[in-house]
Amino acid sequence: MPRRAKTPKWLNAARESGRTGGDWLLRALGRSGALPASEIEGALAAGRVRIDGKVATKPFTPVTESSRVTVDGVVVPLARVTRVLMLHKPPGVVAEGGRDKRPTVVDVLLPLLTEEQRRFHWLAVGRLDVDTTGLLFFTNDERFVQHATSPESHLPKRYLATVHEKATDAMLQPLRDGVTLDDGPARPASARLRSAGLVELTITEGRNHQVKRMLALVGLPVLKLHREAVGGLVVDVDEGAMRELGGDEIERLKTTAGSSLSGFTR
């Protein structure tokens, strides 16, 4: 009988630290901006990183905010500072690289970053379909991803959908009442006709293709989709451009009415 591979001690420790709200080295370094994300694993392998004086080579070594982590002898700040970028996603850009070789949202983002921003590991906050344009956040803080994408946070996401010109307000009523999709009931949404053939739909969940599925269900297949705002923050840069949010904007996103703020205790 084949012997079951033994789980390495460092992996068990990482799992445990995840459960207890702790952290592990790779993630803490990526968030800190101590060195470019692409160099972190190499720096670990080369023995350039130490925790409390001891060389640490394992990416999942647990760390806490009181650990003293150094890279080449320089102390790395471990206190979590949440940074968030707003990208105005253009059409034709996919969330992740696949076989089709289309550019990804990260391909769009990277050339827009300053040298200082390039030192962080940026995580996309949720995903938009390849043909959807509009607001996409990136952050260095996985807790922000969790907060902004969890249905428990009730963070409102406002979309503008182009549909056929004969759409009426009455057709949107089932969306306000709450429709049942093939993966379960959708929360009642806020929906209105902004102009002929243009529906404004605000949802507080983020299931796969949710807006397209909701509108298709009421006889309004989506012809074009744009995400205009998240948590009340409207995309205000040109298509294909990005900017970094200010601390007050990030605070507002963390505390938008209805948000659970789970994981954001500081």
Residues making contact with ligand URA (CB under 6 A): 128-129, 132, 209-212, 225
Q: How far apart are CA 44 and CA 104, in angstroms?
A: 28
Q: Which two tokens stand for residue 53?
A: 């004086």
Closer Cβ to ligand URA, 119 or 127, answer by number: 127
Which residues have C-beta within 8 Å of that of residue 46, sequence separation ≥ 6?
A: none
Closer Cβ to ligand URA, 28 or 225, answer by number: 225
Q: Give 24-80 as a DSSP string.
A: EHHHHHHHHTSS-HHHHHHHHHTT-EEETTEE---TT-EE-TTS-EEETTEEPP-S-
CB of 147 to ligand URA, least distance (A): 18
CB of 2 to ligand URA, least distance (A): 44
129 is catalytic: yes
Place of tokens 């949720």: 126
Q: How far apart are CA 137 and CA 85, in angstroms?
A: 5
Closer Cβ to ligand URA, 13 or 106, answer by number: 106
CB of 17 to ligand URA, least distance (A): 33
Q: Which two tokens stand for residue 177?
A: 């009442």
Closer Cβ to ligand URA, 83 or 89, answer by number: 89
CB of 95 to ligand URA, least distance (A): 9
Active-site residue, selected from the candidate residues 72, 129, 169, 238: 129
Residues identified as active-site: 129
